[in-house]
Amino acid sequence: MSYKSILVETKNRVGVITINRPKAMNALNGQVMSEMVAALQAFDADDAIGAMVLTGNERAFAAGADIKEMSGKSASDMFKGSFVDAWDDIRKIKKPIIAAVSGWALGGGSELAMLCDMIVASETAKFGQPEINLGIIPGAGGTQRLTRAVGKAIAMEMVLNDRKLSAEEALAYGLVNRVVPAERYLDEAISLAQAIAERAPVAAQIGKEAVNQAFETSLTEGVYVERRLFNFLFATEDQSEGMAAFIEKRKANWQGR
Ligand code: CAA
């Protein structure tokens, strides 16, 4: 499939998707989002891929939803349309996704990074939810995922008063996994994705599902879900292989089934 607003490549077992609207600070219009979802779904269905990296350019991961595209819309347009459906579709991707963030991650851009399973940030990364400046609030999960990630106090400042977080602050508040020099952030994200992609594929996907359950359920229900997923993995060839490899002191040869 050919894309107009994203670039797609593979590096070993990693699928890399680059948002490519540099003149618009990678603003997320309908085309970017639908192409991104299509590319992620294609990688999700491809057994040769174990994890994905989502990135932008050095100046901007993404400066949010496309304000020019949204500006003329009415409430009923927004209600009837599928504006934020793409973010929900990304949530349904089973394989791990790592955001490689440099420069601005604002509004829907920050929400997109938070939808990923891990964030590798360049020292130049800046995270923010500036929707208040437009007379709106975050609409793609920002008020919820940000609050779970950084806590109520910081989330309130960001959503109500456009407080931006530097990369170091984002690390301190637990929003990102690691901060690396600008020239290395993408390589770092790809090598982290490759390391995960070399692990037991079904267990990696199930592990993602189990951790995400922690945000959806009570502790009792979450532990119950975890137990069922844990038990299920004993039906996989990879469980037999992984345990045999440990006992035989050799490297496991994962089959992904
Ligand atoms: N939508 C559309 N176009 C955007 C954009 C956006 N979110 N962000 C930047 N652009 C465009 C600018 O309009 C400009 O285009 P022109 O050259 O045609 O004028 C171009 O990108 C470069 O931007 P700037 O000249 O503003 O660059 P800068 O370096 O001075 O500032 C910035 C960079 C701080 C990111 C600034 O562009 C900015 O504040 N952007 C808007 C951020 C924002 O409000 N995001 C939230 C959007 S709403 C949302 O995301 C809702 C949701 O929850 C889903």
The predicted pLDDT at position 126 comes to 98
Find the catalytic residue in 64, 100, 131, 142: 131
Residue of 20, 25, 162 to test ligand 1 pocket, by largest number of atoms within 8 Å of CB = 25
The preferred substitution site among 21, 23, 67, 84 for testing ligand 1, maximizing ligand atoms within 8 Å of CB, is: 67
User: Which residues are CB-neighbours of 164 under 8 A, at least 6 positions away?
Assistant: 126, 127, 128, 130, 158
Q: Which of 15, 103, 108, 242 is catalytic?
A: 108
69 is catalytic: no
Q: Which pLDDT score, from 0 to 100, does residue 173 have?
A: 96
Give me ligand 1 centre to Cα 134, in Å.
11
Mean pLDDT for the stretch of residues 91-110: 98
What pLDDT was estimated at residue 1? Answer: 75
Q: How far apart are CA 53 and CA 181, in angstroms?
A: 18
Q: Is 58 an active-site residue?
A: no
Q: Is residue 113 flagged as an active site residue?
A: no
Q: Is residue 193 predicted with pLDDT exceeding 90?
A: yes
Atom of ligand 1 nearest to the CA of 111: 53
Is the CB of residue 112 below 6 angstroms from any atom belonging to ligand 1?
A: no
State the catalytic residue, choosing from 111, 128, 204, 210: 111
Say if ligand 1 is within 6 A of residue 25 CB.
Answer: yes
Within the chain, what is the greatest distance between any pair of CA atoms?
65
Contact in structure between 61 and 18 (CB atoms under 8 Å): no
Range with lowest mean pLDDT among 43-47, 85-89, 183-187: 85-89
Q: Cα separation of 112 and 122, whole Å?
A: 16
- Residue 65 CA: nearest ligand 1 atom is 50
Structure confidence at residue 221 (pLDDT): 95
**Does the Cβ of 27 fall within 6 Å of ligand 1?**
yes
Categorize the per-residue pLDDT at 81 as very low, low, confident or very high, splitting at 50, 70 and 90. confident
Has residue 8 got a pLDDT over 80? yes
> What confidence tens digit (pLDDT) does each residue in 151-166 have?
999 999 999 999 999 9
Distance 62 CA to ligand 1 centre (A): 9
Catalytic, 256? Answer no
> pLDDT value at position 78?
87
Asked if residue 79 has pLDDT above 90, the reply is: no
Q: What is the pLDDT of residue 245?
A: 98
pLDDT at site 256? 94
Consecutive H or E run containing 144: helix 142-150
Helices (H) and strands (E) in the chain, counts: 12, 10
The answer, yes or no, to whether residue 142 has pLDDT greater than 90, is yes
Q: Classify strands 126-128 and 165-166 as parallel, antiparallel or unpaired.
A: antiparallel
Given a cut of 80, whether residue 83 has pLDDT beyond it is no
pLDDT digits (tens, 9 = 90+) for 20-37: 999 999 999 999 999 999
Average pLDDT across the chain, whole number? 96
CA distances from 85 to 81, 93, 204, 251 (A): 9, 13, 25, 41
Residue 80 pLDDT exceeds 90: no
Average pLDDT for residues 240-245, to the nearest whole number? 98
- The reply to whether ligand 1 has any atom less than 6 angstroms from the CB of 138 is yes
Cβ of residue 141 lying under 6 Å from some atom of ligand 1: no
- Band (pLDDT 50/70/90 cuts) for residue 82 is confident
pLDDT-based confidence at residue 94 (cuts at 50, 70, 90): very high
The ligand 1 atom nearest the CA atom of 129? 46
